[in-house]
């Protein structure tokens, strides 16, 4: 087991390195750097000025060197600029370079500075991530139990009317992307035209304090899309378990249907959905981006849109590192959990 986890962690780190390098490569392409120089410096810079501006700030170094510096395995650049100012990756703005560390990258905990928010990336990411964490918590709290109940109820009597209606419901939710359900929810529950106005159509106030009023619609919007998939997996798994030999034996012994479901079928039926729930995280991340944009909730997904839209390189890298790690860690947990839950599988 230890070796298995070790190998998975190794693959995970390799994946994270590859992915951040891809992001690094794409954000550091010449047109992107030129745009950066023009938005940071001046709109009407000539090509030669752009080049100088970039060279002074260390952007003209080879890609691999820049990546190494960002990662913190190569010493940060120190450039005596053509405009007479000394700049270094590890030197604070306007500093002299005295006593500055040689290495400052992600590994040393220095994630750079966000150009859009004018704050250290680590601060931006952590505050935004905690806001999204609250959202995710409520999404999970709504989605997982509902999905499991719907799936189990549908799967315990396959082909019944209850199964048909619950299955149609889950198909409907998987066919409704967040930007559709969000729009429908806002127009039904919060617009002046329909006159219901039960909930708040914007979640901007939820950043200070989430209430039932301003948080219901965003949570419901994300939860619904993911729910259908988990419910269908649970249903399939439950339906399979219900045809197993030991269920028939229990039935012939005269165990009540309720006890069969609760005591015999449930635990075995929940192994497959567990993996699916864990693998839903990357999907939820997508939903979070859409919903936070739609409901104006300034969390992690909203930050991603801001960073990508403004080519805020360091922030974009920070955001992708975090999201890639969220995806990879949930995959790892789902693998390990699967082994623990399912006694039939053993890892050499």
Partner 1 sequence: MEALTWGGIFARILTQLLPVWIALIATFALSITYKRRLGLYGKLFDSPIGMIGFGIVMFWVFTGLFGGLFDLITTHDVLEQSARMKNKLPGTAFVASNGKMPEGAYPYYLLGGDNLGRDVWSRMIVGAWEVIKIAPFATLFAFMVGITLGLPAGYHGSRLDTGLSFVANLILAFPVILLFYLLVTPEIVATGIPRYMAGVLFLFPIIFLVVLINSRFHTQPPKRNLYAAIALAIGGWLYLGIAWDADPFGIIAFPPNLLVVFVSVVFVNSPTVFRIVRGLTMDIKTRDYVAAAQTRGEGTWYIMLWEILPNARGPLIVDFCLRIGYTTILLGTLGFFGLGLSPESPDWGSTINDGRRLLQVYLHPALAPALSLLSLVLGLNLLADGLREESLKD
- Residue 290 as a binder of partner 1 (CB under 8 A): the answer is yes
Residue in 75, 282, 332, 341 binding partner 1, rule: CB under 8 A: 282
**What is the spatial distance between Cα 284 and Cα 112, in angstroms, rounded to a whole number?**
27
Q: Find where tokens 């039935």 sit.
A: 251
Q: Is 169 helix (H, G, I), strand (E, B) or coil?
A: helix
- Residue 265 as a binder of partner 1 (CB under 8 A): the answer is no
- Residue 82 as a binder of partner 1 (CB under 8 A): the answer is no
Q: Which C-beta is closer to partner 1: that of 154 or that of 260?
A: 154
Residue in 153, 289, 315, 321 binding partner 1, rule: CB under 8 A: 289
CB-CB contact of 306 with 347 (8 Å): no
- Residue 30 as a binder of partner 1 (CB under 8 A): the answer is yes
Site string for partner 1, 35-54 (x = CB under 8 A): x-------------------
Tell me the closest approach of the beta carbon of residue 317 to partner 1, in angstroms. 11
Nearest CA to 218 among 117, 287, 128? 287
Nearest CA to 273 among 245, 246, 240? 240
DSSP class of 82: T
Would you give the distance in Å from CA 161 to the centre of its chain? 37
**What is the spatial distance between Cα 299 and Cα 207, in angstroms, rounded to a whole number?**
8
**What is the spatial distance between Cα 1 and Cα 33, in angstroms, rounded to a whole number?**
46
CB-CB contact of 181 with 225 (8 Å): yes
The count of residues in the chain is 348
Residue in 114, 216, 320, 334 binding partner 1, rule: CB under 8 A: 320
Tell me the closest approach of the beta carbon of residue 177 to partner 1, in angstroms. 4
- Residue 129 as a binder of partner 1 (CB under 8 A): the answer is no
- Residue 275 as a binder of partner 1 (CB under 8 A): the answer is no
Number of residues that bind partner 1 (CB under 8 A): 51
Which residues of the shown chain bind partner 1 in the complex (CB under 8 A)? 11, 15, 18-19, 22-23, 26-27, 29-32, 35, 171-172, 174-177, 179-180, 183-184, 186-187, 190-194, 201, 282, 285-286, 289-290, 293-294, 301, 304-305, 308-309, 311, 319-320, 323-324, 327-328, 331
């Amino acid at each position: 087991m230890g070796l298995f986890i070790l190998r998975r962690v190794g693959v995970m780190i390799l994946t994270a390195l590859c992915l951040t390098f891809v992001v690094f490569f794409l954000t550091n392409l010449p047109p992107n750097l030129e745009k950066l120089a023009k938005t940071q410096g001046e709109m009407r810079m000539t090509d030669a000025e752009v080049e100088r501006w970039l060279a002074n700030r260390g952007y003209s170094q080879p890609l691999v060197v820049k990546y190494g510096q960002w990662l913190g395995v190569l010493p940060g650049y120190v450039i005596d600029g053509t405009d007479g100012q000394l700049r270094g990756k590890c030197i604070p703005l306007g500093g002299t370079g005295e006593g500055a560390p040689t290495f400052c990258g992600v590994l040393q905990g220095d994630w750079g500075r966000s150009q859009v928010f004018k704050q250290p990336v680590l601060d931006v990411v952590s505050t935004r991530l905690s806001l999204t964490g609250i959202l995710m918590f409520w999404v999970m709290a709504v989605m997982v139990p509902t999905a499991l109940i719907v799936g189990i109820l549908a799967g315990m009597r396959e082909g019944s009317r209850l199964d048909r209606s619950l299955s149609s419901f889950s198909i409907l939710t998987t066919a409704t992307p967040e930007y559709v359900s969000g729009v429908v929810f806002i127009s039904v529950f919060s617009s002046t035209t329909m006159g219901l106005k039960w909930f708040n159509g914007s979640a901007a106030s939820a950043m200070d304090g989430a209430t039932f009023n301003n948080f219901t619609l965003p949570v419901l919007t994300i939860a619904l899309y993911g729910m259908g998939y988990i419910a269908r997996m649970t249903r399939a798994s439950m339906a399979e378990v219900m045809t197993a030999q030991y269920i028939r034996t229990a039935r012939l012994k005269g165990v009540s249907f309720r006890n069969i479901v609760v005591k015999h079928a449930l635990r075995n039926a929940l192994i497959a959905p567990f993996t699916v729930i864990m693998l839903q995280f990357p999907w939820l991340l997508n939903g979070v981006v859409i919903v936070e944009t739609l409901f104006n909730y300034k969390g992690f997904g909203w930050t991603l849109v801001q960073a990508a839209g403004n080519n805020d390189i360091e922030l974009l890298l920070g955001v992708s590192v975090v999201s890639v790690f969220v995806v990879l860690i949930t995959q790892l947990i789902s693998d390990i959990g699967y082994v623990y839950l399912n006694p039939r599988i053993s890892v050499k």
